[in-house]
Amino acid sequence: MFKPNGIIPALVTPLDEQGNLMENSLKKVIDYTLEAGVHGVFVLGSTGEIYGLTDKQKQRVIEVTVEHVNGRVPVYAGAGEITTNNTIKTAQMAEKIGGVSALSVITPYFVSPTQDELIEHYKAVANSVKMPIILYGCDGRAHNSIMPETALKLSEVENIIGIKDSSGSSERMDKYLELTKDKEDFSVLCGIDTFIYHGLCNGTKGAIASSANVAPKISVGIYNAFMNGDLEKAQELQNKLQPLRDAYALGTFPGVIKEALGMVGIDVGVALKPVGPMSDKNREELARVLKELEVYNIK
């Protein structure tokens, strides 16, 4: 069974003012992250605005990504929708395209399923495809939780191979790790960029990181330093990443990441409305952070 590992950027979906997919910009972001040494790429997550894309756009994002990556690293794709039926439809679409190593499925958002309902949801999705499935818990955005005991039950499903934890709780992450430590085919991945080092120290296999759109070398550096046994350097790089994560508060997610990429020198357009541009003051602060990280690239 496929085993996810390493630093996997949760890529933005470049969109112009009319909401059209900017395919060349998507390729540029992919190249930028691959040049930094990432271990995979993840499209159609919350950072990728899956919630606002048409079925045709979702399909095209996967097609462009698979074709452009061309086997250099694994491609992960989001298939999370509000209902089980729509999640199955998106998952089957991704499977039909081919070239995707695993699907990430966020808990249904807007609705608030019970843990039993989540188990039935994930089992139905997993049974609808042959592809590996990664659970995705993001309490702050989906407003519901995959409890550790639920993750343990779902780890028994053959093609459910891991969980991306964006709960924001290091205690929750540690509990996932504790309960599934004997599950060789189940991986816990960090979904909060500020916990990458903590997660690795406690047994995570890597991270799906939105900040790796902007400063991928830092996240990759944390992982590589840790794997090489240089814990001091890994901690130092984790601390270096903190101001970028803090800068998310300067704008509305994921627009701030798109504005940051523009300052890196890659035009990825705008976020879908109602997300608007950052204020001039906050844009200046974001530019300062990027200059300190040595990724600012506006001449």
Q: What confidence tens digit (pLDDT) does each residue in 225-250 have? A: 999 999 999 999 999 999 999 999 99
Provide the mean pLDDT of the chain.
Answer: 96
Residue pair 49/272 in contact (Cβ under 8 Å)? The answer is yes
- CATH code for the domain of 215: 3.20.20.70
* % of the chain residues with pLDDT over 90: 95
pLDDT at residue number 232: 98
Is 140 a residue whose pLDDT tops 80? no
Give the burial class of 168: count Cβ atoms within 10 A of its Cβ; 0-12 exposed, 13-18 middle, 19 or more buried: middle
Assigned domain for 85 exists: yes
Assigned domain for 289 exists: no
pLDDT at residue number 141: 77
Residues paired with 269 in a beta bridge: 15
Better pLDDT: 169 or 78:
78
Average pLDDT over residues 3-26: 98
Assigned domain for 251 exists: no
Assigned domain for 163 exists: yes
Average pLDDT over residues 15-33: 98
Total domains, the chain:
1
Question: What are the start-end ranges of the H helices in the chain?
Answer: 23-35, 55-69, 84-97, 115-128, 139-142, 148-154, 170-179, 196-202, 216-227, 231-246, 255-264, 280-292
For residue 47, give its domain range.
6-230
Strand order, beta sheet including 160-165: 6-9, 206-209, 187-190, 160-165, 133-137, 102-106, 75-78, 41-43
Question: What are the start-end ranges of the H helices in 134-183?
Answer: 139-142, 148-154, 170-179
**164 belongs to the catalytic site:** yes
pLDDT tens profile 44-68: 999 999 999 999 999 999 999 999 9
pLDDT classification of 142: cutoffs 50, 70, 90:
confident
- 136, 176, 197, 223: the active-site residue: 136
Q: Which pair of tokens denotes residue 75?
A: 């491609």
What is the rounded distance in angstroms from the CA atom of residue 23 to the CA atom of residue 288?
Answer: 29
- 28, 153, 164, 217: the active-site residue: 164
pLDDT tens profile 261-274: 999 999 999 999 99
Assigned domain for 248 exists: no
pLDDT classification of 130: cutoffs 50, 70, 90:
very high
What is the rounded distance in angstroms from the CA atom of residue 107 to the CA atom of residue 166?
Answer: 11
Assigned domain for 77 exists: yes
Is 158 a residue whose pLDDT tops 90? yes
Residue pair 180/151 in contact (Cβ under 8 Å)? The answer is yes
pLDDT at residue number 173: 95
Average pLDDT over residues 71-83: 97
